[in-house]
Amino acid sequence: MDDILFDNSNDLLIGAGDLELGNSNEQNKYMLLACSSGEYKEFPFVGCGLRDFINENSPENMFTQIRKQFDKDGLSVKSISYKHNKLNIDANY
């Protein structure tokens, strides 16, 4: 899906004096992972809140939260894994 794009600092991406538009699927996934519930005033239950899972011993609760949030956003999650300190998610709209 096309939408307004952000740069690596989560600032609006501007090119040629205007907002950049483009495929935002990966950006949307990132925003769902990075944001916690309550950060979007208009949508208070959106966000996985990955920061809340930093000291968890098992990633299962995190996987459940990711699946719930991605499903609500229309993403079909095929697989989620956490190996060697890297989160891998195979999900598509």
Closest CA to 69 of 19, 34, 41, 42: 34
> Residue 58 in 3-state DSSP?
coil
- Domains by residue range for the chain, with CATH: 2-92 (3.10.450)
Tokens representing 48? Answer: 């996985």
Q: What's the predicted TM-score (pTM) here?
A: 0.85
What is the H or E stretch that residue 31 is in?
Answer: helix 25-34
Q: What is the pLDDT of residues 42-75, one digit of tens each?
A: 999 999 999 999 888 889 999 999 999 999 999 9
